[in-house]
Amino acid sequence: MTEQYMQIFIQEQIRKLKSFDAAPGDDVIQWLYDTETVFDSVQLRPSNKYIAVQSYLVGAAAKCVFDRAKSPLSNAL
């Protein structure tokens, strides 16, 4: 596979990911598994996975994660 085709493949795989909003009935374990599977298929490094996954958190999930990051206690955890 040429580098150009590989980049297209990676972009397509990343676009397929669904966002997660922690709505009632959402299965976070399944969402994490699906997301990790895509990240692994495109050989995303762990540090980039952490950055990328944040853009797929919306609604209550994003609020929970980003509010906790702002908390002064977050550094102690």
pLDDT (tens digit, 9 = 90+) per residue, 31-58? 999 999 999 988 889 988 888 888 899 9
At 36 the pLDDT is 93
70 domain-assigned:
yes
Give domain status of residue 41, yes or no.
yes
What's the structural domain count of the chain?
1
Mean pLDDT over each residue of the chain, to the nearest integer:
84
- The verdict on residue 1 lying in a domain is no
Tell me: pLDDT of 65 over 90: no
Residue 68 lies in a domain: yes
Share of the chain above pLDDT 70, in %: 86
Predicted structure pTM score: 0.71
Q: Which amino acid is at 37?
A: T
pLDDT of 77 over the 90 cut: no
In the chain, the amino acid numbered 25 is G
* Spatial separation of the C-alpha atoms in residues 53 and 46, rounded to whole Å: 11
Residue 4 located in a structural domain: no
Domain-embedded: residue 42: yes
Look at residue 55 and tell me if it is in a domain: yes
**Could you tell me the residue range of the domain that residue 52 belongs to?**
21-75
Sign of the CA dihedral running 19, 23, 24, 29: positive
For 31, counting Cβ atoms within 10 Å of its Cβ (0-12 exposed, 13-18 middle, 19+ buried), the class is buried
3 found inside a domain: no
